[in-house]
Amino acid sequence: MRLEAGAQATLSTAAAEKVYRSLGPETRVETRIVLEPGAVLEWIPQETILFDGARFLRGMRAELGPDALLLAAETLVFGRAARGETMSRGLIRDRWRLHGAQGLLWADALALEGDLAAPLLNPFGFAGAEALGTLLLAGGDATAGRDLLRSLPERAPGAATIPRPGLLLARWMGRAAAVREAVGEAIVTLRAAQLGLPARLPRLWTT
């Protein structure tokens, strides 16, 4: 998708995305975002629920022009938490790339395959977390955004940092409902403070 210079948009999903068990083929989702100078985009889909045995490949590439602003959030849920199901096998490859006028600004990737029980339970890995939430703010006031997130009540274990000037990264891991609540609260806080939008989630998130 492309936003022209000075445009502003919010993009979400109508409900959580579900990736079902696969007998072989992978589910592939590729997203390319281009923000022309001064464009503002809020990219806030609801969580992606990975069923046991799912094979999921996702790539996100964002290209920001001068003075563009991106608030992006994604959440992965490892199994159907509401049914007590965990994701014990399958494939997850989740890749993010953020580019600006200076070139590559940030890159990140998650790769898990086969028997997922061990890495998802490893205390030095996911430590039994049901979900992983990621939030990225590029082009705004990263320091003020980080301080706001750090002042919020802890809904799920998480942290906010500035990996490079002008870029805010926050992550949460824990129970699926708590991670969703933490990500939602962070979106509400930053959309009001940084994008000048109402301090509430879009109606799709709450209906």
Dump pLDDT digits (tens) for 132-160. 999 999 999 999 999 999 999 999 999 99
Cα dihedral 59, 47, 190, 101 in deg (nearest 10) = 0
Asked if residue 185 lies in contact with residue 133, where contact means CB atoms within 8 angstroms, the answer is no
Q: What's phi and psi for 33, nearest 5 deg?
A: -115, 130
Query: What's the distance, Cα to Cα, between the start and end of the chain in Å?
Result: 26
Q: Quick one: pLDDT at residue 203?
A: 87
Q: Quick one: pLDDT at residue 85?
A: 84
The per-residue pLDDT for range 157-179, each reduced to its tens digit, is 999 999 999 999 999 999 999 99
Report percent pLDDT > 70 for the chain.
100
Is residue 82 predicted with pLDDT exceeding 90?
no
Asked if residue 163 lies in contact with residue 58, where contact means CB atoms within 8 angstroms, the answer is no
